[in-house]
Amino acid sequence: MALDRWIALVLLGVCLTYGYAAWFTMDGGLPPFMQRNPIWPSTFPKVLSILGIIACVIILLGLEKSEPKEADIDYRRLGDYHLDQALMLLALMVIYALCLRPVGFLISTSAFLILGSFILGERKWHIMLPVAFIATGTVWYLVQEVLGIYMRPLPGIFGG
């Protein structure tokens, strides 16, 4: 069996477990007034689990396959790809997750976007810096002010 089908089989197990939790365990503690609502807190997880199961079954049955192309990834030649960039990005994601709370959202997200684009090969600093800062500020504003979810913008020593 091909690598994509093995991954689809593992993801199918995850989606089935997630779907079981969404359908049978999430709504047990709902108060009576929420049980009459058309949309429950488990609605989105239910939809996600169904879509994931459908996608996994399509991959397992091979319905998405067309004739092989030159651009398909050959898992037997993984050394020919840019694994160093992928591993550095994964390490950067872990560092970002660990630094998000102590360093603050604005600094850690800006640094993540700048370093991530640098790892991927972007060298136009006059474009990279403003894009990272504007994107970080926009996301922080939307989450903080529009959605009303508090995110520490700066480290605690700066009053964040």
pLDDT in tens, 124-141: 999 999 999 999 999 999
- Strands of 9-84, DSSP E: none
Select from 66, 54, 63 the least CA-distant residue to 11: 54
Both tokens of residue 135? 């994107």
For residue 117, the Cα-to-chain-centroid distance in whole angstroms is 17
Closest by Cα among 160, 159, 110 to 151: 160
Query: What was the pLDDT predicted at 35?
Result: 72
Whole-number Å distance between alpha carbons of 127 and 68? 37
Decide: 21 and 52 in contact? Cβ < 8 Å.
no
| Burial status of residue 40 (CB atoms within 10 A of its CB: 0-12, 13-18, 19 or more) | middle
∠ CA 145-151-157, nearest 5°, is: 120
Per-residue model confidence as pLDDT tens digits over 36-54? 777 777 788 889 999 999 9
Query: At a CB cut-off of 8 Å and minimum separation 6, what does 158 contact?
Result: 104
The 3-state DSSP class for residue 143 equals: helix
Domain boundaries of the chain, sorted by first residue: 3-67, 81-158
* Each residue's pLDDT tens digit, 11-29: 999 999 999 988 888 777 7
